[in-house]
A and B are shown apart, each in its own frame.
Chain A
């Protein structure tokens, strides 16, 4: 037999791959800030956050390779998958678009990851539970970093206030996708491997709302258009460019070690 177990493992692998790809793709985006942030200290901060996420992605991708029966390593999964096989949400693949946008994106994503990992500490998958327990401390800092900046930009000068407000508007169409219950996450929640994304929404929105309010800006109305499909491997235009940059060395030099 073993049939149901294989199917269950495949669904769990798909779910974990979504978590891993979120972390991996955002780590790649945050890396772009090195040498371009407002000050060298902020270069370091964003690079540190990116490296934290990369560490989460490595452990989770390794687990995906074990569960899906393919025997693929973390590197195989990061460098040798094509766009349609990535399961990250659209929010994280969007191009870097200014510091205000980055802090708005980080506030939403870190707030989401905080609730997510808090729930995953009791996952029946030991690797997921272990990653979650460790990552929760990291994400607490990420969320705090974004919070500090949103407060300062929102409640800063007239110009920074306006830009922070615009950044929240620009991020809004990509937020809801974080809380979509795709089939893999429904199955993961039922088996105890994962948590249902929609169950995180209230806590995340409450957290972000409180920060935004204190920063004297406002959350915009729901956008008329909203992103969908990342968890099914359907991505937006920037994703292909991101993967090209992330993967081209590994693909041009197969098996290279450094």
Chain B
């Protein structure tokens, strides 16, 4: 019943194809929270252009007062490291403890360290 009933009452003009050339591009969303110091990646969304992406981000990611500032970046403009490069990119840092600032004596009254 349900399939037939739904087919009988299509929502007028509200069902463009969700794949193919009419799909909107993907945008990555960064939100700065009230007390945060920098924008943090919160997710992604689709939008036809940057202006609409910003508005969609407002609707999707800041409904509950999560932020005071939003950045959107076209996902295609992001150059990312690839999983195959993981070994050569990141593993060499594993055994270099001298890169960590753990060999200092920190005076007790220094804050924010």
Contacts and interface: CB of A to CB of B under 8 A. Distances in A.
Interface stretch (A93-101, A107-115, A236-244): A93-101
Contacts of B58: 141
Contact of A44 (B11, B48, B56): B56
A68 B15 CA distance: 44
Interface in B26-81: 45-49, 51-52, 55-56, 58-60, 63
Given A98-B13, A148-B55, 12 more contacts: A38-B14, A39-B18, A40-B46, A41-B45, A41-B47, A41-B56, A97-B13, A98-B14, A99-B13, A148-B51, A152-B48, A152-B49
B24 A45 contact: no
Contact of A100 (B13, B56, B59): B13
B13 A145 contact: no
Interface of B: 11-16, 18, 24, 45-49, 51-52, 55-56, 58-60, 63
Contacts of A163: 13
Contacts of A99: 13-14
Give chain A's interface residue range (CB within 8 Å of chain B). Answer: 20 to 34
Most-contacted residue by chain A among B14, B45, B52, B60 (CB, 10 A): B14
Contact of B14 (A37, A40, A148): A37
Contact of B60 (A33, A44, A97, A141): A44
Nearest to A48: B59
Interface of B is mostly: loop
Nearest to B48: A152
Contacts of B56: 41-42, 44-45
A41 B46 contact: yes
A163 B16 CA distance: 14
Interface in A27-67: 33, 36-42, 44-45, 48
Contacts of B55: 45, 144-145, 148
Interface string A138-155: 000100110010001000
Interface string A148-169: 1000100000000001000000
Most-contacted residue by chain A among B13, B47, B48, B56 (CB, 10 A): B13
Contacts of A36: 11, 14-15
A144 B46 CA distance: 19
A44 B59 CA distance: 6
Contacts of A96: 11-12, 14
